Structure 1
Amino acid sequence: MYHKVDRQLSTKKELTMIIPLLRTLYHPEDPAHDLIFDARELHTEIREHSIGAQVYHLLKTAGIEINVSSSFHELLYRSYETGFLQSLLIKRETEKLLKEFENQGVPVIPLKGTILAERYYGHYAARGTSDIDLLIHPEHLEAAVKCVRKCGFNTTSQENPVHYHHEWFKQASGLPEPLAVELHWSLVQSDTSQMNMGAAWTTSEPLTDYKNVRVLSPSYTFYTLCLHGASHQMDSLKYVVDLLHMLERHHEQIDFTWVLKQADLDHTRRRIGAALSVVSQFLPDLASLQGIAYEHIHIYNQKSRLYRLLFTLSMLDSWRYRWIFIARLIIPSQRLALYSLGTDGRRKSWVSIYYNLYKQRFRKLWGGQ
């Protein structure tokens, strides 16, 4: 049976509605199915956390009934229908990209997206997605850019100097906003880890009918989802649901000892601990978490503005990495400061740049834009 906890992503209703619903979907025998759910409240929370596709798919495949009015199913289906079309369009764009990489002989691994949904949820639209993420070797960046540009992704954004990916856009027919493709060569920042992507490639396998397109192993997929959620401070239930699904439906395929050993090598052990600590915070009796020797990390109140900073500091593996992060936060490089301001810095002195940066930060601190 689900037990209440006193931390939250945003509201207590999420603990009394969404979490019991998820428990019911993965464990129909759980007494939570006897709870009565408010249709509109539940749908609003599901929509806010972008987990409508997962909930709809799980309800459909589980074949169970929950105590909620028919209006909930109607609202959920409408959301799923919209997401289905978007997923279909992204799936087609992904296939075009992968074929181009294959034809050009450029090794690539799709991350998350419709391929992850197909492999682990059973359908490309069973997990919502809004962009395309591709892992490449850093030495193949130029060739990869040529591939994405040939597929119509001709617009790029200002490059974040501490990020580990480049982003390209195209206006895809049928999508409300430009579709982005991110070319990753790593999964975390290099100066706060010892991330080596070699294991991602050596443990991967070819995607069916491809030679140069590969897919991550289940263990590395789980590792990637932990890192991805941690990089976003696990600030949405969609990250919890991804890990919950892997733990509940693909537990036997994941070598958790290997994951933790790899995290030790990459200096990302506490990131894994942070991600799993949030999962256990909401699902403290989750059996599939038992026996995983992760380091439990205290999770602060996720509504606090201070939360993101404290979460980031707590998930770094050493004080050396924390000091690097703090130093960069207080006195960022001029290039990073310009990126944060969204300007190229032409005809601006360094005094003006940092003055505007801190003015922007104080404005955001007090709720401004």
Structure 2
Amino acid sequence: MRRFLPQLTHEELWALADPRLTEPDVVVVMEQILELVGTNWKVEASVDLRVPLMRQYLSDHRLWPLLPLDAVRPSVRPELRHRQVAISASQMRLRSVAAEVLEQFDAEGIESRVLKGLATGELDYPNYLLRHTGDVDLAVRPERLDDAVRVLRGHGYGDRYERFSPYLSYGCTLEAPNGVEVDLHARLSRRSPLGDRLFQDLGEPLSMLPGYALPTAHRLVHASGHFMISPPGTRRLSGLFDITRLHACHDVDLDKARRFAADLGIEALVGAGLWVEAMLSDRVDVIAQLDTWKDPDWLERNTRLVPERRLLLDHLGRYREVPSGRRLRYLPAWLLPTRRQRKLLFSSARRTATRLTQGRR
């Protein structure tokens, strides 16, 4: 792993999570927050929110819940309390929708797993309200995805976004009648094969929702994969902090995590995500174990281990996200993207050309 991941500075490591994290003062605050998350919120020093744009940054990336009141100056506490109350209300609404969906699936015999924030907030954080999540994420078996969509549409749920090509089999995004987004995942990662791998191991029961989460090692794989596969910004940061929490409150079996990641075809990306978090948190033992993990390939290094999105290369890599046996049928859609996708690709190409031109001056 170290052959392809050089010794980056903390600023460069943070930039992988968000390219805006280049100002030393902002990096200091983020490292304080990471330390709070990794030490069960033991406050050693006050977090200085007077850094320019820091409040906006916390809002943009939904990080306010991670700050305890005694970690900020007294003058900031009323604002922090107000923000946390508002966020708590939205989290309760999400959980209400999640419980409703899980009960509907159970009535139809549709097995599911609760993913990401709703699961890790309960199982890996001291208080579930510390983990802000923006939607309901559930995994269902690929062969039951259409049934799951039918059930939700029958209860007034509607499509949220333009769908990807059906040959990709990512899943489906629906919107509850009250506006909450519900993501149904047929695969844990876009690189994963279709199949029932998510359901071969017993899930971990949740007490606050009528459902099951992934086992601990599998949640670590999902958090790290989410960290690396997502575009820089909010989703990468939430994945990073989830990795930190899983290490903080569980003795995670990295060998089990590696086998699961390999089964899903994302061992190298998951290993890279764990490596970045281990470097930021000084986990020497984890770094040593990751030396035996699969190395990221050229395309992964140039699309995921960079601080900016490279949509042209992303588009090249999308072809290998298609499940085996469907690639020939997907070829026309891959060669002729939709109008929206073409617009994004052209914009990315212009930014890349500008960056290369400026780099040669």
Q: Does residue 103 of structure 2 align to residue 99 of structure 1?
A: yes
1:165 pairs with one of 165, 168, 171: 171
SS of alignment partner, residue 160 of structure 1 = coil
Q: Is the contact made by 1:196 and 1:266 (CA closer than 8 Å) also made in structure 2?
A: no
Cα 1:282/1:180, change in 2 over 3 Å:
same
Extract unaligned runs of 5+ from structure 2.
1-7, 322-329, 352-361
1:148 is matched with 152
1:95, CA displacement in angstroms?
0.5
1:265-344 correspondence to structure 2 within 5 Å: 265-283=263-281, 285-286=282-283, 289-293=286-290, 295=293, 302=307, 304-306=308-310, 324=320, 333-336=331-334, 340-342=338-340
1:25-174 correspondence to structure 2 within 5 Å: 26-27=38-39, 33-34=44-45, 37-39=48-50, 41=52, 42-53=54-65, 55-56=66-67, 59=68, 65-66=70-71, 68-161=72-165, 162=168, 164-172=170-178
1:255 pairs with one of 235, 242, 253: 253
**Partners in 1 of 2:112 and 2:40 — Cα distance?**
39
1:186 is matched with 187
SS of alignment partner, residue 121 of structure 1 = coil
Cα 1:269/1:84, change in 2 over 3 Å:
same
1:365, CA displacement in angstroms?
4.1
Letter in 2 for 1:181: V
List per-residue Cα deviations over 1:210-239 (Å, max 9, x = no partner).
Answer: 9x9432111111111112222204544222
Q: Does residue 10 of structure 2 align to residue 5 of structure 1?
A: yes
* Mean CA deviation greater in 193-202 or 70-79: 193-202
Extract unaligned runs of 5+ from structure 1.
173-177, 314-319, 326-331, 343-356
Q: TM-score, normalised on structure 1?
A: 0.72
SS of alignment partner, residue 129 of structure 1 = coil
1:149, CA displacement in angstroms?
1.9
1:213-224 correspondence to structure 2 within 5 Å: 213-224=211-222
1:349 is matched with none
* Mean CA deviation greater in 93-102 or 71-80: 71-80
Letter in 1 for 2:270: I
Q: Is the contact made by 2:39 and 2:248 (CA closer than 8 Å) also made in structure 1?
A: no
Cα 1:322/1:147, change in 2 over 3 Å:
closer
**Partners in 2 of 1:138 and 1:273 — Cα distance?**
26
Q: Is the contact made by 2:38 and 2:248 (CA closer than 8 Å) also made in structure 1?
A: yes
Cα 1:278/1:128, change in 2 over 3 Å:
same
**Partners in 2 of 1:194 and 1:359 — Cα distance?**
27
Cα 1:25/1:209, change in 2 over 3 Å:
closer
1:305, CA displacement in angstroms?
5.0
Highest relative contact order (Cα 8 Å, sep 6+), 1 or 2?
Answer: 2
Letter in 1 for 2:34: L
List per-residue Cα deviations over 1:83-133 (Å, max 9, x = no partner).
Answer: 111100010011111111111111111112323311221433221111111
SS of alignment partner, residue 135 of structure 1 = strand
Letter in 1 for 2:10: V
Letter in 2 for 1:170: A
**Partners in 2 of 1:163 and 1:142 — Cα distance?**
11
Cα 1:234/1:272, change in 2 over 3 Å:
farther
Cα 1:80/1:163, change in 2 over 3 Å:
farther
CA RMSD of aligned residues (A): 3.6
2:238 is matched with 238
Cα 1:155/1:280, change in 2 over 3 Å:
same
Q: Is the contact made by 1:187 and 1:227 (CA closer than 8 Å) also made in structure 2?
A: no
Q: Is the contact made by 1:131 and 1:180 (CA closer than 8 Å) also made in structure 2?
A: yes
**Partners in 2 of 1:28 and 1:117 — Cα distance?**
13
Q: Is the contact made by 2:275 and 2:290 (CA closer than 8 Å) also made in structure 1?
A: no
Identity among equivalent pairs (%): 16
Letter in 2 for 1:52: W
List per-residue Cα deviations over 1:52-86 (Å, max 9, x = no partner).
Answer: 22x13xx36xxxx44x4223333322222121111
**Partners in 1 of 2:221 and 2:93 — Cα distance?**
27
**Partners in 2 of 1:167 and 1:88 — Cα distance?**
20
SS of alignment partner, residue 134 of structure 1 = strand
Letter in 1 for 2:248: E
2:198 is matched with 200
**Partners in 1 of 2:227 and 2:143 — Cα distance?**
27
List per-residue Cα deviations over 1:260-287 (Å, max 9, x = no partner).
Answer: 122233331111122123323433x235
Q: TM-score, normalised on structure 2?
A: 0.73
Cα 1:280/1:273, change in 2 over 3 Å:
same
**Partners in 2 of 1:256 and 1:179 — Cα distance?**
34
Q: Is the contact made by 1:43 and 1:75 (CA closer than 8 Å) also made in structure 2?
A: no
1:22, CA displacement in angstroms?
2.4
